[in-house]
């Protein structure tokens, strides 16, 4: 180990920023902040819990033929399997007849046969589970459907294509994940919070022109890192799936696998284009590890904060504007009205209860 000493001394005097970066990443990797994700309900958040969008479930490699796999996504329990042609299928976990757990059933092409009454349960009639398999990931649509087609308003593959990501292959065999809480809005809007970088990342964020570009179902955030000397681009294909481009050779993806309210797996995985470039894949691996380490503190802070406390200053107004846009784009007016009605009703009930306790 002593031969490393002159190397470290050389780095210290010639590249002090890089040595500081290595120290910070070492601390976050081996001595992370210990935290427990609290159990919260939807009224503990300022927005409805599940935006209308596509949600990643898992990698395509995880679903083998002739096997059933159970998942919980956005509070919905589903079973995935492949039919005789290898096409992904999905049904609610419980039989619509009498609620029997279909994990006890058997696969028969597009159906699962319920073991209780031999009812054939498929997703072809009165479709309740909308799935799409693309770019080596299986997605499920959660939310309102198109009023005319009664289907999701856009395909996931079309979102990849609109953002020139259709050739990206998400590699599932070298991934890291944080178990996090909070709301999807936390992980989107914090990139507009330029003030946190010196304290969390030991760097300075400089806003750039067109640093936030909004689309109907997606958005792109970018900025310049002064010490790092790079301008990373965060392409949110959906609020649950982000392509992070550090440089032309270093790209990764972040999947937010939302199991339930405040129960999220933040999965960081490498990617490469269909014309595989091994140097590209190597730098993607390095970037995955870097991102996993560098986000460790924020994982703790977003998971444990009080989400109903928000007093922003003038320099943070862009975050408020983004949240208003997010609310309008990813929720219907009916969803917003119902959510705020429930929050107000809950507040009144709590006030009445506190008054009764005080009088007693």
- Of 172, 168, 173, the closest CA to residue 276 belongs to 168
Confirm or reject CATH 3.40.228.10 for domain 53-142, answering yes or no. no
Residues contacting 309, CB < 8 A, separation 6+: none
Domain boundaries, the chain: 32-38+163-325, 53-142, 333-359
Helices (H), the chain: 4-14, 16-30, 156-162, 184-189, 197-200, 278-294, 296-304, 317-330, 333-359
- Of 82, 114, 78, 81, the closest CA to residue 99 belongs to 114
Q: Would you state the CATH architecture of domain 32-38+163-325?
A: Alpha-Beta Complex (3.90)
Per-residue pLDDT of the chain (360 residues; tens, 9 = 90+): 444 456 555 545 555 566 677 788 888 988 999 999 999 999 999 999 999 999 999 999 999 998 999 999 999 999 999 999 999 999 999 999 999 999 999 999 889 999 999 999 988 766 789 999 999 999 999 999 999 999 999 999 999 999 999 999 999 888 999 999 999 999 999 999 988 988 898 888 999 999 999 999 999 999 999 877 899 999 999 999 999 999 988 999 999 999 999 999 999 999 988 777 788 888 899 999 999 999 999 999 999 999 989 999 988 899 999 999 999 999 999 999 999 999 999 888 877 777 766 776
- Cα distance between residue 360 and residue 354, in whole Å: 10
């Amino acid at each position: 180990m002593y031969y490393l000493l002159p190397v470290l001394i050389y780095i210290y005097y010639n590249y002090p920023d890089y040595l500081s970066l290595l120290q910070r990443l070492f601390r976050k990797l081996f001595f992370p902040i210990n935290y427990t994700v609290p159990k919260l309900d939807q009224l503990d958040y300022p927005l409805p819990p599940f935006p209308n969008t596509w949600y990643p479930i898992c990698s395509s490699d995880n679903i083998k033929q002739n096997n059933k796999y159970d998942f919980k996504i956005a509070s919905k329990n589903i079973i995935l399997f492949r039919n005789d042609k290898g096409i992904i299928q999905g049904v609610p976990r419980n039989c619509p007849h009498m609620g029997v757990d279909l994990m006890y059933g058997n696969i028969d092409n597009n159906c699962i046969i319920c073991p209780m009454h031999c009812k054939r349960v498929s997703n072809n009639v009165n479709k309740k589970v909308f799935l799409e398999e693309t770019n080596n990931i299986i997605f499920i649509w959660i939310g309102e459907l198109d009023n005319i087609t009664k289907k999701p308003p856009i395909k996931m593959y079309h979102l990849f294509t609109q953002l020139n990501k259709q050739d990206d292959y998400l590699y599932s065999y070298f991934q890291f994940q944080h178990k996090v809480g909070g709301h999807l809005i936390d992980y989107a809007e914090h990139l507009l919070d330029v003030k946190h970088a010196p304290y969390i990342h030991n760097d300075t964020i400089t806003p750039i022109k067109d640093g936030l570009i909004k689309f109907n179902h997606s958005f792109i955030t970018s900025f310049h890192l002064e010490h790092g000397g790079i301008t990373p681009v965060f392409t949110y294909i959906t609020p649950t799936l982000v392509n992070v481009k550090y440089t032309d050779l270093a790209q990764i993806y972040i999947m937010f696998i939302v199991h339930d309210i405040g129960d999220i797996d933040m999965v960081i995985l490498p990617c490469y284009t269909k014309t595989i470039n091994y140097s590209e894949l190597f730098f993607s691996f390095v970037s995955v590890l870097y991102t996993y380490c560098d986000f460790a503190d924020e994982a703790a802070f977003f998971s444990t904060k009080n989400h109903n406390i928000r007093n922003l200053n003038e320099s943070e107004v862009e975050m408020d504007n983004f949240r208003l846009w997010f609310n309008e784009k990813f929720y219907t007016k009916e969803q917003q009205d119902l959510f705020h009605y429930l929050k107000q009703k809950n507040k009144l009930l709590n006030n009445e209860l506190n008054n009764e306790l005080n009088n007693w």
